[in-house]
Structure 1
Amino acid sequence: MDRYQGWKWYDTILIAILLIAFLICIIILKDIVMSIACLLLIAIIITFFSKEINITLADRMIKKGKYEKALKYCKKVLRKDPNYVYAIIKKAEIFEAIEKPKEALQLYDSAISKNPNNNIPWEMKGDLLKKLGKEKEAEESFKKAEILKNKKMEKKWYYKLMKKL
């Protein structure tokens, strides 16, 4: 569930390299089998990362102020996987941006119920509650987020230590 890292620059480079390999196979080598293999690999990668791609596109639309378009990307992901926490969080961000805090809070709560060990919705809920002037509730959310972050760090350090042994 904590796989989401967004679409990174190197993902785009990977797709570009595969497209170049496809063109080399078709044009220079005239190798149809390798060309098809490259296309299949591109399709597999894009399919595997479709959630991340759509959430990244939604994020870009939010930054441009195109909230309806961003919402469409989130809905596309949630149709395929209604439990994908990062799409729910991004949808909540959109509702915050269009000044629908009640809906945003419901979405943060939904994300928390689907993955209570993810610190991100707790933090974002805290930010929203603080904006709404609900300081005490915000503080509780921030504390929970901090506890979850610390647990993640403890696990990382534990695994690093175990690797060294």
Structure 2
Amino acid sequence: MLDDIDRRILRHLQADPTLSTAELAERARISAASCWRRVEKMQAAGIILTQEAVIDWAALGYAVEVSLRFTLDKTQPRAFDEFLAAARDVPEVLEIQTFLGRVDVRLSVIARDMAHYQQLYRDRILTLPHIADIEALMHIARVKEEEALPV
């Protein structure tokens, strides 16, 4: 599926997504036209999904990060769908993951400080539908965060 040149392009693109096509081509040791065609092909194939800005939320004043794990009341036929739809509407929810097992859903939530988190928890989180149980895990430190694949 991917050849060595494609893997080289992906490695350099993961390391620095701001590279221009010419810079990427130079680092991958191919022509700019060939690089552009290969990137376009990988985008069309869904290998390269997007290039995005990664924001440091702490630099913007969000000092609290909490992981909330939910068990839902699965006796309700639309519990998952209704919970997920409501959770998507909370701006401070950065990530939603679903699971098989004891925990059904995990939300990653940010807040400016503990007072903001407490208000958010009372006004927005506890009002989400079909909650059977919640476990809050306060974020202390990010030890590893890597989205680059070893290609």
TM-score by length of 1: 0.30
* Richer in helix (by share): 1
Higher strand share: 2
Query: Which structure ranks higher in relative contact order (CA pairs < 8 Å, sequence separation ≥ 6)?
Result: 2
Query: TM (normalized to structure 2)?
Result: 0.32
